[in-house]
Structure 1
Amino acid sequence: MAKRFVAPLTDSEQQTLTSAYHHGEKRALRRRAHAILLSDKGHTINQITEILQVRRDAVSRWLKQWEASGLDGLIDKPRSGRAPVLDANDHQRLQELVAEQPHQIRSLQARFQEETGKTVSTVTLRRALKKNDFSFKRIRHSLKARRDETDFRNTQGLLKALHQREDQGEHELYYFDESGFSQSSSVPYAWSPVGKPCEVTAYSRSRRLNVLGFLSRAGKLVYHSVTDSVTTETVIDAFDQFADQKDPDTFAVVVLDNASMHHSKAFRRKIVEWMSQRVYLIYLSAYSPELNLIEILWRQMKYAWLPLSAYLSFEHLCDEVHRLLDGYGTECTINFE
């Protein structure tokens, strides 16, 4: 068998094989054509095996296929393979759903799964939308250009010192912020047909669960949630509850941003009262949201931890948000080290 060769090639066959070897669409066809050309030049099966780094039985099979069917015998035939996850009706329904909810793919994913009973990953959905000529573009906003870099660096140094003192047991350090959860996204990006940007007069309004949280690096989370708008009174209530439930013998330092509610007259009048309860406030430098560690918690909840079922209704959303908040530190946590 090692001395077996193909029958001498005609000029036409040599031209066909040479073309397939140099210009074949698939690597497999190019390699098989090369094998036939090598055999025609007197190379044995063992030598071809060494040259192409393939198994001996593969080379032998290619020679037989060439002799039986010519070039057609070297071309892979279509295979049935695994049935696609999404059929034509699914693709049509996806286009309808994305027209209804262009901003939030997880809401779309939840609706699709509920309607069809098909469990489809976000990656598969994105691939399907791109296959149907949809693109996903996001407008990114940055406050970096508006901040004072010297003040920003000084705040970084202050936070580092506060972390060190917390590690030494001098106080507990918390990061405070408010965040809203809703079924529709307020971020200005959406799925739309390629070349036809999504244009809307305003984003649709949906009910919103507002959470006011105090987060420590040690895994402690104290939160206050409302479905009404967040006002100065709401923030004061959250701080009052925080001060009442903390250990009275422990100093607590709370880091917060410069939202107008945090500088209102009513809020500032309460600062001395909270200090008497050993709660001290530290304001971040302006336009520095990346210094507030609780922002990481909001991102994790919205983009990683909330299950698809949370987006099916506002009641589901509230239940899941509260479940995550109540389980923080045990069921889910963030490593800030």
Structure 2
Amino acid sequence: MGSRLRVFLTPQQDKTLFNLRTADVPQKVKDRASVIRLSAHGWYVEKIAAHFNWTEQTVREVLHKWKKLGLDGLWSKPGRGRKPKWTEADIKFLEECLEQEPRTYNSVQLAQKLEQERSINLSPDWLRRVLKKRGSFGNELGKATKENKTQYCNKSNRQT
């Protein structure tokens, strides 16, 4: 068992941390605020770790960050994770191509178009998932047949 680690809060700090429970902040921030409040209320590091199902070291890191940085220590540093290769403007460009051009595209063709026109290399599978999630195109019959973009579709519609 390590040395006793406890933080002490002013009434204003306690109120601020308490209000974070209902604020529009990430769950990690809410959990870290609760850890600090529990420590201030006399809970041991071991008990807090068991309550949150965290390691004792994680609880200690949260408490040390609070002592060092205060409220700013609750949030994760920016720059975590992989940065996207594309921007919102690139996806909007593809959506405009899908709407305005008289031909249809599959995901491979869209990926090639993006690489040729914007020098951005994305996989067709990933591109298809992003566009589908945004509702840009999909499997629904209404979307697929709403506008007949290719000559082949126009000819087959006239025959029936």
TM-score when normalising by structure 1: 0.38
Going by fraction, where is strand more abundant, 1 or 2?
1
Superimposed CA distance per residue, residues 32-91 of structure 1 (whole angstroms, 9 cap, x where no aligned partner): 111111111111111111111101111111111111121111111211532313246633
CA contact (8 A) 2:111 2:124 kept: no
Going by fraction, where is helix more abundant, 1 or 2?
2
| C-alpha spacing 1:24/1:31, structure 2 compared with 1 (3 Å) | farther
What is aligned with 2:123? 120
CA contact (8 A) 1:29 1:74 kept: yes
CA contact (8 A) 2:95 2:136 kept: no
- 5+ residue gaps, structure 2, are 153-160
CA contact (8 A) 2:17 2:34 kept: yes
Following the alignment from structure 2 to structure 1, what is the Cα–Cα distance between the partners of residues 151 and 44? 74
Superimposed CA distance per residue, residues 139-173 of structure 1 (whole angstroms, 9 cap, x where no aligned partner): 29xxxxxxxxxxxxxxxxxxxxxxxxxxxxxxxxx
What is aligned with 1:250? none
Aligned with 2:21: secondary structure?
Answer: helix
Following the alignment from structure 1 to structure 2, what is the Cα–Cα distance between the partners of residues 12 and 83? 37
What is aligned with 2:4? 3
What is aligned with 1:28? 28
What is aligned with 1:138? 141
Superimposed CA distance per residue, residues 160-215 of structure 1 (whole angstroms, 9 cap, x where no aligned partner): xxxxxxxxxxxxxxxxxxxxxxxxxxx514xxxxxxxxxx5x54315xxxxxxxxx
Following the alignment from structure 1 to structure 2, what is the Cα–Cα distance between the partners of residues 129 and 19? 38
Give matches, 1:185-204, under 5 Å: 187-189=144-146, 203-204=149-150
- Read off the aligned partner of 1:205 and give its amino acid letter: Q
| C-alpha spacing 1:79/1:62, structure 2 compared with 1 (3 Å) | same
Kindly state the Cα deviation for residue 109 of structure 1 after the two structures are TM-superposed. 2.5
RMSD: 3.1
Give matches, 1:143-158, under 5 Å: none
Following the alignment from structure 1 to structure 2, what is the Cα–Cα distance between the partners of residues 51 and 45? 10
Structure label with greater radius of gyration? 1
What is aligned with 1:105? 106
| C-alpha spacing 1:77/1:110, structure 2 compared with 1 (3 Å) | closer
Superimposed CA distance per residue, residues 252-301 of structure 1 (whole angstroms, 9 cap, x where no aligned partner): xxxxxxxxxxxxxxxxxxxxxxxxxxxxxxxxxxxxxxxxxxxxxxxxxx
Following the alignment from structure 1 to structure 2, what is the Cα–Cα distance between the partners of residues 24 and 88? 24
| C-alpha spacing 1:102/1:36, structure 2 compared with 1 (3 Å) | farther
| C-alpha spacing 1:38/1:114, structure 2 compared with 1 (3 Å) | closer
Query: How many equivalent residue pairs?
Result: 147
Following the alignment from structure 2 to structure 1, what is the Cα–Cα distance between the partners of residues 102 and 130? 17
Aligned with 2:64: secondary structure?
Answer: helix
Aligned with 1:62: secondary structure?
Answer: helix
Following the alignment from structure 1 to structure 2, what is the Cα–Cα distance between the partners of residues 54 and 28? 12
Identity in percent: 22
What is aligned with 1:196? none
